[in-house]
């Protein structure tokens, strides 16, 4: 038992600085604010055109159980909630009262997404991204690169206490690792469900052609319409899809393979968008964040290697230009 706990701690709670977590906070919150904010007009339209929910999400049912629908689910309350979300997002981004702000920001976004998905429709794009947003509220996400950190240093200086450097802690990596594990689970679930429900026929080419044709035609994606007419390519892409989704979990078990899976994943989602208009932009950001901050050694090694080559080339050029 003790060995299992040690392994668990070694995986989820390694001692690191908080830099990666805090930089990821900035990228993720900026993406949510700029790329994926709630669309207020859409929510107001839902509120004015619907007198009741179709499939209310648990979060919405819980709110409706406490407050009557006609008092909370109104355009004015949602407009206020929208601005609260925006202010909390800005505070989380700059890192002022970071953790409470992150909690309010995540909660408001959860309410908006759950509200949108209470009218007979539901999609997957936002779920893991919103879970990561909430994780920032329960981790030291404001410890570096934040106004909170600047204020802490300023107070230390004023009190004559030596200013401490970046803190090392064992609770800075779990949010990124958690999202990695959840991504692996969800990809595996998607791949396995295709193999269970569709079997090998899922890779017959016709399946992918039909799905792509339907989505591309109704969403106006010319690349997808072309792709839907390429049978051999559809077979190859079906096999690739099953392999990628089913084996993404390998990136958790063998961390050295993770950068490869993250990069392939980014291109996988970009091609899904171009082919069928599947807008998993949040997953693209998540994979990019994991590539940058969960597997930094990989790209740093590449960067160092490239910079070393570049500086050696400059030195050679300088030597060649010097008079003999």
Partner 1 sequence: MRQSKVWISTVILLVIALHAVPVFHAGLRKRIWPILDWAMYKDASPPGPIETDRKRIVGITATGQREVISKEAVGLSSFALDRLYAKPMKVGDSSAAHQLVLRLNRQRQDPFVEVRLEVETFTATDTGIVRRENPPITYRVDPTPSR
Q: Provide the binding-site residues for partner 1, judged by CB under 8 A.
A: 5, 8-9, 12-13, 45-46, 48-50, 54-59, 61, 110, 113-114, 116-117, 119-122, 124, 126-128, 130-131, 138, 170-171, 174, 178, 181-182, 185-187, 189-190, 193-194, 196-199, 201-202, 204, 206-207, 209-211, 213-214, 217-218, 225, 228-229
* Of residues 155 and 219, the one with the C-beta less far from partner 1: 219
* Of residues 110 and 268, the one with the C-beta less far from partner 1: 110
The closest of 11, 30, 150 to 86, measured between CA atoms, is 30
In the complex, the smallest distance separating the C-beta of residue 82 from partner 1, rounded to whole angstroms, is 18
* Of residues 198 and 255, the one with the C-beta less far from partner 1: 198
Contact 59, 114 (CB under 8 A): yes
Contact 103, 157 (CB under 8 A): no
DSSP 133-158: HHHGGGTTTTSSSSHHHHHHHHHHHH
Contact 142, 149 (CB under 8 A): yes
* Of residues 131 and 292, the one with the C-beta less far from partner 1: 131
* Of residues 22 and 113, the one with the C-beta less far from partner 1: 113
In the complex, the smallest distance separating the C-beta of residue 141 from partner 1, rounded to whole angstroms, is 13
Per-residue DSSP letter, 199? G
Question: Where are the extended beta strands (E) located within the chain?
Answer: 16-17, 168-169
In the complex, the smallest distance separating the C-beta of residue 239 from partner 1, rounded to whole angstroms, is 13
Burial category of 7 from C-beta neighbours within 10 Å (exposed 0-12, middle 13-18, buried 19 and up) = exposed
Answer positive or negative: Cα dihedral of 93, 98, 102, 108. negative
* Of residues 133 and 295, the one with the C-beta less far from partner 1: 133
* Of residues 112 and 298, the one with the C-beta less far from partner 1: 112
* Of residues 36 and 298, the one with the C-beta less far from partner 1: 36
* Of residues 80 and 189, the one with the C-beta less far from partner 1: 189
Q: What are phi and psi of 241, to 5 degrees?
A: -60, -50
In the complex, the smallest distance separating the C-beta of residue 284 from partner 1, rounded to whole angstroms, is 16
In the complex, the smallest distance separating the C-beta of residue 24 from partner 1, rounded to whole angstroms, is 17
Which residues does 311 contact at the CB level (< 8 Å), separation at least 6? none
Distance of CA 271 to the CA centre of its chain: 18
Taking each continuous run of H as one helix and of E as one strand, the counts in the chain are: 17, 2
In the complex, the smallest distance separating the C-beta of residue 294 from partner 1, rounded to whole angstroms, is 16
In the complex, the smallest distance separating the C-beta of residue 54 from partner 1, rounded to whole angstroms, is 7
Per-residue DSSP letter, 257? G
Rg (CA), the chain: 24
In the complex, the smallest distance separating the C-beta of residue 178 from partner 1, rounded to whole angstroms, is 6
- Which pair of structure tokens corresponds to residue 148? 């909170």
In the complex, the smallest distance separating the C-beta of residue 135 from partner 1, rounded to whole angstroms, is 9
Would you call 168 helix, strand, or coil by DSSP? strand
Which residues does 44 contact at the CB level (< 8 Å), separation at least 6? 75, 78, 79
């Amino acid at each position: 038992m003790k060995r299992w706990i040690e392994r668990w701690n070694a995986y989820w709670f390694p001692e690191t600085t908080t830099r990666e977590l805090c930089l990821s906070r900035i990228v993720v919150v900026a993406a949510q604010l700029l790329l994926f904010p709630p669309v207020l007009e859409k929510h107001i339209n839902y509120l004015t055109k619907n007198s009741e929910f179709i499939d209310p999400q648990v979060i919405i049912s819980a709110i409706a159980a406490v407050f009557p629908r006609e008092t909370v689910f109104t355009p004015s309350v949602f407009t206020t909630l929208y601005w609260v979300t925006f202010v909390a997002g800005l505070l989380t981004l700059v890192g002022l009262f970071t953790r409470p702000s992150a909690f309010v920001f995540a909660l408001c976004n959860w309410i908006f997404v759950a509200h949108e998905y209470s009218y007979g429709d539901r999609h997957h794009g936002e779920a893991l991204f919103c879970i990561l947003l909430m994780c920032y509220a329960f981790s030291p996400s404001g410890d570096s690169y934040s106004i909170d950190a600047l204020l802490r240093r300023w107070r230390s200086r004023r009190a004559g206490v030596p200013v401490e450097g970046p803190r090392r802690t064992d609770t800075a990596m779990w949010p990124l690792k958690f999202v990695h594990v959840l991504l692996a689970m969800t990809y595996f679930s998607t791949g396995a469900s295709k193999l269970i429900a569709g079997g090998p026929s899922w890779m017959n080419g016709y399946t992918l052609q039909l799905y792509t044709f339907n989505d591309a035609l109704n969403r106006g994606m010319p690349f997808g319409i072309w792709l839907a007419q390429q049978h051999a390519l559809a077979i190859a892409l079906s096999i690739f899809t099953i392999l990628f989704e089913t084996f993404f979990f390998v990136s958790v078990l063998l961390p050295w393979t993770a950068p490869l899976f993250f990069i392939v994943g980014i291109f996988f989602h970009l091609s899904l968008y171009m082919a069928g208009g599947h807008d998993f932009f949040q997953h693209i950001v998540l994979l990019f964040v994991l590539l940058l901050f969960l597997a930094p050694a990989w790209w740093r090694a590449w960067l160092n290697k490239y910079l070393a080559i570049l500086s050696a080339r400059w030195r050679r050029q300088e030597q060649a230009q010097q008079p003999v």
